[in-house]
Amino acid sequence: MSRLRLIAGAVDGPQPVESDERLPDGEALDAYSRTVTAVAERLRPSVANLRVGRRTRWGRREGGGSAVVITPDGYMLTSAHVVDGSERSAQAAFPDGRSFSAEVVGTDPLSDLAVLRTEAGNLESAQLGDADALSVGQLVVAIGSPLGFHGSVTAGVVSALGRALPTRSRSAVRLVENVIQTDAALNPGNSGGALADGLGRVVGINTAVAGVGLGLAVPINDATRRIVASLMSEGRVRRAFIGIAGGARPLPPRFSSPGRETALEIVEVVEGSPAARAGLRPEDLIVEVDGRSMADVGELQRLMVAESIGRPLSARVIRGARTFTVEIVPVELDS
């Protein structure tokens, strides 16, 4: 078969000299390549290709994604939407050719995380890192199964931090905070796979492709670890609920002060909810809850944890020209 000719050879000029000599490894692998290669060698054995069966009106259909082994005894972390609507089981295939059945232990659509477990032992678990220590521009490596090609590796940088990803479960809506944005190539099937730092520590679970060169990953941090621990032990995540929707709004000048320029404006109050029973209304401004300033919806969301269920919370509210305090008793969110 004839040799392919370089495109550059179509114009006048010298042709490259053919040689059987190879660059020494030290020159062929620069620092960037060595880092990506080391991460891939370390992490690829811990990332599985998931095949998930679903029953639909048209019969049984199969979908796919990725999962990251987080314990040697078979616990794996993936995206909730990968196993959503599944038969509570999946098939996990690893780059070394091994394949195991896995059961869904628990899912949390409001964080887009799920935990599975396989009975296989001697799995190589990944080390979890801390996304809170990332910096914009930092090298990250994505490993997963785009379009079913498991063990695929792409690399890029952290494009932005602090993004918010809206999630929904029935009528409940939540923002996943501090989402990582990366330009590492992500495609369908990467969901549930690993986003790692230059030391091979998993700092995110790939969750969405927002556009070309725009991938998003749920961060691995203290909040995520608590969610994962709850899914492993209880199969679910308990959250408090007061029944409001809102967003940040600048405080009127008479109520603002240095360091406190915004509050949480109520846009909607769910009928019969704890907020409704406390007398809150749309357009009220929540300045403080349980002694914590409410600069945006994220501040309130961080309070809506299991420990707040049934515990009276004092809220300072601005309505028109007056300020008053109400007591709200959160209930458990039925998600």
Report d(CA 182, CA 84) in Å as an integer: 25
Give the residue numbers annotated as catalytic, written as ranges.
Answer: 81, 112, 191
Report d(CA 136, CA 307) in Å as an integer: 34
Tabulate helix, strand, coil % of the chain (nearest 5).
20, 45, 40
Task: List the structure tokens of 330.
Answer: 């959160």
Report d(CA 274, CA 271) in Å as an integer: 9
Report d(CA 135, CA 261) in Å as an integer: 27
Phi, psi of 151 (to 5 degrees): 80, 15
Distances (CA, A) of 286 to 41, 202, 212, 264, 274: 50, 37, 39, 5, 15
DSSP state of 45: G
Query: By C-alpha distance, which of 80, 54, 79, 51 is closest to 64?
Result: 51
Report d(CA 5, CA 249) in Å as an integer: 62
